[in-house]
Chains A and B, each alone.
Chain A
Amino acid sequence: MEYSATLVDHFHHPRNAGELDNPNAVAEGENPICGDTVRIEMSIQDDVITRIRWSASGCPPAIAAASAASVLLEGRTLGDARRIDRAALAAALDGLPTRKAHAATLVLSTVARALDAYESGPQA
């Protein structure tokens, strides 16, 4: 199989999947060409992502990237969270095939939009 054991493990045993009761940072993203969709929900307190949940639909890398990103993001300050890039997410998956890089891009851009929405909103 072309995917790393770590990626398959995230796909098969996703971490932090689901919803939060009262998230204060939410965004949904879609790749209109391939149909992958992801929704990110976060609880942010004192500039720290205290909880994160996600839902995703698409190919295995899209689901695995959402799962691995949630592990990387939980407990981070917003500044640290924004510094997580595609390479860091691919590393957390023990590699992501180049042709599947769009899965990581979708997840990270959705996270960035959730953070943007939070920082521009009244709760920031």
Chain B
Amino acid sequence: MNTSIYLDHAATTPLRTEVLQAMEPFLAENYANPSSIYRLAQEARAALDRSRDLIAAALGARSQEIIFTGGGTESDNAAIKGVALASRERGRHIVTSAIEHHGVLHPIEELVECFGFESTIVPVDQSGLVSVDALEAALRHDTVLVSVMWANNEIGTVQPMEAIAALTKVRDIPLHVDAVQAAGTLPIDLSQVPIDLLSISAHKFYGPKGVGALFVRGGTPWWPLITGGGQERNRRAGTENVAGIVGMARALELRVAEQHTAYEHARALRDCLFEQMPARIPGTRINGHTESRLPNNANFSFEGVHGESLLVALDVAGIMASSGSACTSGSVEPSHVLRALGVPNSVAQGSLRLTVGRDNTQEQMERAVEVVAGIVERLRRLAPVSGRA
């Protein structure tokens, strides 16, 4: 009854046993550098090639369009800087959305501050959806890159990627998509959607941490972020993380194979939270879109309750979750995502993100609702009733 419940799958997911088994040979007996020429190294090279094929197939891409990286943030950085720096002669304008991951927003800020680029940050509506019309209006003759995430990490809002891709395709502007939260959960077919660059991260789909991939469509302008070796066809230098890459490929292969059932499993559990939490706790608000949303994401705010207090109390009760705000040096900093949605600070500071995964059960959801309800009631009882002083 008192065993812990992990509800933070958007932060990271547990490594699957099958994935660990696939990785083990390359953590132990086969330690070879895949760039070497002896047989052991060629076996490692073959494992890399197979992994690349598997990942390409899972995404509807060609194998040579997959670059292995050190994770989602590196993929985002490499895509943003790679395209922008290679396109400087053509223009210096980048368009993105207000709710991107910092792995996208910060490199764009860096390009603006250090390399003379300009950026347009397109707002989102109160559910977190990017307006395709607003995106279109932001495009200029010197726009060299558009970057919009497929699904948001905090509120789970899924963007209209096909419409966005159609827009950039017509104008011949490279489109980067941060699919770190979407990969493995939503169907992605790059043979059908004209996306030019796409970031994924293994540990978000039950693979290992510290490894990711970037899809770069053939012909996309490219400037390598990391240099000093010919690996990845000169697009990303450094000895490959063979075990990590093998694990990532196996994890994505397994995740895609079970995609439909995993989607329904997650959605049923998440909908249980959506149904029970507001019914059980007065003053509950659901943040984000109700329909166009990742199946495993729930994001709530509880009136009059501080998110960090909720998280610390949940941790004591054995429930692992996350919040969208942090109270630092006397100021609450709601996440840029909740701010972009127009959520008032007083509401944003009580936000709670619960993201479910393949091992969660209905009973766990029911227990989570009861535990959250108890904590919210306790915290509200401790609060002053204003106006009595």
Which residue in B330, B379, B383, B384 is a CB contact (below 8 Å) of A33? B330
Report whether A1 and B315 are in contact in the complex, using a CB–CB cutoff of 8 Å: yes
In the assembled complex, the Cα of A12 lies from the Cα of B332 at a distance in Å of: 22
Q: Given contacts A37-B384, A99-B329, A102-B330, is CB(A57)–CB(B389) below 8 Å?
A: no
Q: Which of A24-32, A42-50, A73-81 contacts B (4 or more CB under 8 A)?
A: A24-32
B279 interface contact, C-beta 8 A: no
Most buried by B among A12, A26, A58, A102: A58
Q: Which residues of B contact A102 (CB under 8 A)?
A: 329-330
Give min CB distance, B289 to chain A, whole Å. Answer: 27
Report whether B389 and A27 are in contact in the complex, using a CB–CB cutoff of 8 Å: yes
In the assembled complex, the Cα of A11 lies from the Cα of B378 at a distance in Å of: 11
Residue of A nearest to B317 (CB): A12
Give min CB distance, A49 to chain B, whole Å. Answer: 18
Report whether B309 and A3 are in contact in the complex, using a CB–CB cutoff of 8 Å: no
Residue of B nearest to A26 (CB): B389
Q: Which residues of B contact A56 (CB under 8 A)?
A: 382-384
Q: Given contacts A28-B389, A35-B346, is CB(A60)–CB(B309) below 8 Å?
A: yes
In the assembled complex, the Cα of A119 lies from the Cα of B77 at a distance in Å of: 61
Instruction: Give the interface size bracket for B toward A.
Output: 20 to 34
Which residue in B315, B379, B386 is a CB contact (below 8 Å) of A37? B386
B window 297-338: CB within 8 A of A:
304, 306, 308-309, 312-313, 315-316, 327-332
A86 interface contact, C-beta 8 A: no
Q: Which residues of A contact B315 (CB under 8 A)?
A: 1
What is the interface of chain A mostly: helix, strand, loop, or mixed?
A: mixed
Residue of A nearest to B380 (CB): A57
Residue of B nearest to A100 (CB): B327
Residue of B nearest to A58 (CB): B306
Q: Which residues of A contact B308 (CB under 8 A)?
A: 59-60
Report whether A37 and B316 are in contact in the complex, using a CB–CB cutoff of 8 Å: no
Report whether B312 and A60 are in contact in the complex, using a CB–CB cutoff of 8 Å: yes
Give min CB distance, A88 to chain B, whole Å. Answer: 20
Report whether B331 and A11 are in contact in the complex, using a CB–CB cutoff of 8 Å: no
Give min CB distance, B312 to chain A, whole Å. Answer: 5
B window 1-47: CB within 8 A of A:
none
Give min CB distance, A50 to chain B, whole Å. Answer: 20
9 A–B pairs (Cβ distance < 8 Å), ordered by A: A11-B309, A31-B330, A34-B331, A34-B332, A55-B382, A57-B382, A57-B383, A60-B308, A100-B327
Apart from A34-B331, A39-B388, A57-B383, what are 19 other A-B pairs with CB-CB below 8 Å? A14-B382, A17-B382, A31-B330, A33-B331, A34-B332, A35-B306, A35-B345, A36-B327, A37-B386, A55-B384, A56-B383, A57-B304, A57-B379, A57-B384, A58-B327, A59-B306, A62-B306, A63-B379, A102-B329
